[in-house]
Amino acid sequence: MPDLTSSLPSLPENPSLFTRLHVGLRALKVLQTDPTNPAYGALFYDSVEIGLCAALAQDFSRHEEGRRLLAEKPSLRASALDLDTLEKLPSGSLGNTFARYFREQGLTPIETLSPPKNDAQYVATRLRETHDLHHLVTGYATDVMGEMELQAFTLGNLHLRTSLLILLQSAKATRRVPGVDAAQYARLLWAAFRRGSQSRQLASFRWEDTWATPLAMLSEQLVAPARQWN
């Protein structure tokens, strides 16, 4: 397997806005020709979101759940997960559903290639690694419409710039969503955004402690009910 990080530009601690823009644009240039490159995808994400993630890390330090997460820095990268063991948990549990989610869709969990250097980079890594768990707990599918709904939910829940960029870039996605016109598409995204804004902030939740918990129970505790807002 080629070393995806061998020519990767570095994002230093506490980077200036100029540095973030410079590194982010270099990463974006690679992603335009290789959009699934995990190393440059993570670098672009960090360049865009590192300021927000630094603020989130400060917020984590103010409560016990967040302090524990920053102290222990658990990882949900592919090499740290045992999907076979998780799949043996009771049917309907988070762990069992999480494992089957990947098996049934022929996917693999994200692999973090570069370890985070500080708390802000850890939060950014954590947000990337928990994306699929957000699909499960919200119930949004992995098709085009479901992905856009999750991005709108995330924008409302965490105010991520990358979610806004994805939504803006995908404004013509209605052409690829059978049976959904532009007005309905906008209503669905607005509903997802409002739902995210009224849900518990998911960034600091420690999913590893709840593998055996029923997914339905977690959804009820963490996420506002799915309903349409006008």
CA distance 15 to 48: 11
- The model's confidence at residue 44, banded by pLDDT at 50, 70 and 90, is confident
Highest mean pLDDT among 17-21, 52-56, 110-114: 52-56
Q: Count of domains in the chain? A: 1
The answer, yes or no, to whether residue 6 has pLDDT greater than 60, is no
Higher pLDDT: 125 or 20? It is 125
132 found inside a domain? no
* pTM for the predicted model, two decimal places: 0.85
69 found inside a domain? yes
Average pLDDT over residues 13-18: 72
151 found inside a domain? no
| Per-residue pLDDT tens digits for 45-72 | 888 888 899 999 999 999 999 999 999 9
Domain holding 26, by residue range, is 7-74
- The model's confidence at residue 1, banded by pLDDT at 50, 70 and 90, is very low
204 found inside a domain? no
Q: What is the pLDDT of residue 8?
A: 65
Average pLDDT over residues 81-95: 97
160 found inside a domain? no
Mean pLDDT of all residues belonging to the chain: 87
Nearest CA-CA partner of 152 in 163, 162, 161? 163
142 found inside a domain? no
- The model's confidence at residue 148, banded by pLDDT at 50, 70 and 90, is very high
The answer, yes or no, to whether residue 205 has pLDDT greater than 60, is yes
CA distance 223 to 211: 17
- The answer to which of 50-64, 89-103, 125-139, 173-187 has the lowest mean pLDDT is 173-187
- The answer to which of 38-47, 118-127, 207-216 has the lowest mean pLDDT is 38-47
- The model's confidence at residue 3, banded by pLDDT at 50, 70 and 90, is very low
Higher pLDDT: 182 or 140? It is 140
Q: Measuring CA to CA, how many Å separate 163 from each of 97, 104, 133, 182, 218?
A: 25, 26, 16, 19, 23
CA distance 73 to 116: 10
182 found inside a domain? no
Average pLDDT over residues 116-122: 90
162 found inside a domain? no
Average pLDDT over residues 34-49: 77
Q: Strand runs (DSSP E) across the chain, as ranges?
A: none
Q: Output the CA torsion 28→30→31→34 (10° steps).
A: 170
